[in-house]
Structure 1
Amino acid sequence: MTFAPTPIPSRTQYVLEAIKHAILTARLLPGQALVEAELAAQFGVSKTPVREALKTLAGTGLVVMSQYKGAVVRMVDATMAREVYDVRLLLEPEALRRSIAREASLEAAREALERADSAADKADRSLANRDFHRALYLSCGNPLLGRMLDEIRDQAALVSTVAWAAIPTWEREAAEHREILRLALDGDATAAAAALHDHIASFVRRAFPDDGDGGDAS
């Protein structure tokens, strides 16, 4: 027997999306405290939807909650970034290869790429990029694989937002996305998976180079 997930109340969803957008536009910075009373006053709601929103954001990895310090925006450092991107490297190229092998529609990936190109701010661009990657792996034929990648989507978006604030390389990533999609639409699963692997690896290498490796910071 399967159970449908409990829907999030509308006020909680509104607060959740607003806080997420603030984090992904760097209006709320990594390490910044998220005080329930202040957020409730800002959004004109009680503390209950704020508390529930923060719990949900903690589950996605954007917020860290502690008994003594309360809720704070998650810090992004090289260790955290490499852990998230290592999981992506292990799973995402294979999921894309399977999607192509199943001749899945990639229209959603094309639409997400267009939204990223016309994004109004870093948050919209990051979320569109996240949707682009999801569209590549969602039809891989293994729901568990898709859910595992879904679980780190927000963390990957946070990494990219923090990295872009220091080194704005989104035009380079957009060009790489277009090439990945071209190969996928051509049905070349091996080349598309390899291009995706290189795209993920090169981003984290540029954004968080190993000490002394002389990594490209462009």
Structure 2
Amino acid sequence: MYDRPGVVPASRTDFVLESIKEAILHGKLKPGQALVETDLAATLNVSKTPVREALKTLAGSGLVVMSPYKGATVRTVDAGMAASVYDVRMLLEPEALRRSVELGADLTEARSALEEVPGLARRSLANRRFHRALYAGCGNPLLVGILDGLRDQAALITIAGWGLHPTWDAEAAEHRAILVAAEEGFGDVAADLLRRHIRTFADRVVEELSDVVR
């Protein structure tokens, strides 16, 4: 389950946390799937304690839902969740990018993420890296922390959206346009392109998730 070569977890709990998170974000653990502590512990060759702690942490980040009756399950992406997460991103992420450009932040990581090897799992991770690289240099640690807190849920929504209707080629072109504007120092332009990029994806995914329910 844990498949990130060369990455050494800081502790057993971190190992379990990253293993379960990657399995969810790579689609190995499906939305709505029960997360049974004994099964996960056996798969990862650990005791139930680090599994229990990892599930609590993942519930806090929005990837897992804890129920006193059903236990832990992988969060199911619905239209309401997608609309809420992307509404916050639309409000905060473009402004964070504008400030990053204004401060002359290093965007090398964003450029590197654009060259990531294809494949759904890698695309998802590269997408996370790209967007974080845009806002990480905004100069406001609280703003970065808020956006970081949305990353896992946003990734879950992105994977769900690509599963319904793959659009990564168009999004990659949008990423390139955003990055070019940012690298050339046009912060307002980059922010506007990013806002439109987020809105376009959000509108499509919310509509498609709404159609699935009907």
When normalised by structure 2's length, the TM-score is 0.90
The corresponding residue for 2:41 is: 40
**Structure 1 CA distance, aligned partners of 2:10 and 2:209?**
46
Tell me if the contact between 1:99 and 1:139 (Cα under 8 Å) persists in the aligned partners.
yes
% same residue: 62
What SS does structure 2 have at the residue aligned with 1:187? coil
The one-letter amino acid paired with 1:126 is: S
The one-letter amino acid paired with 2:74 is: V
Deviations 1:158-183 (A, max 9, x none): 00011111111111111111110011
The corresponding residue for 2:19 is: 18
Deviations 1:58-102 (A, max 9, x none): 111111112221110011011100100000000000000000011
The corresponding residue for 1:173 is: 171
2:130 paired residue among 132, 136, 152: 132
Moved beyond 6 Å, runs of 4+ = 210-213
What SS does structure 1 have at the residue aligned with 2:66? strand
Alignment of 1:105-116 (within 5 A): 105-115=106-116
> How far does residue 14 in structure 1 lie from its aligned partner after superposition?
1.7
> How far does residue 145 in structure 1 lie from its aligned partner after superposition?
0.7
Tell me if the contact between 1:173 and 1:199 (Cα under 8 Å) persists in the aligned partners.
yes
When normalised by structure 1's length, the TM-score is 0.88
What SS does structure 2 have at the residue aligned with 1:91? helix
What SS does structure 1 have at the residue aligned with 2:73? strand
Aligned residue pairs, count: 203
Aligned CA-pair RMSD:
1.8
> How far does residue 124 in structure 1 lie from its aligned partner after superposition?
2.3
Judged with a 3 Å threshold, the aligned counterparts in structure 2 of structure 1 residues 172 and 67 are, in CA distance, closer, same or farther, namely same
> How far does residue 125 in structure 1 lie from its aligned partner after superposition?
1.4
- The runs of 5 or more residues in structure 2 that have no matched partner are 1-8
2:204 paired residue among 186, 200, 206: 206
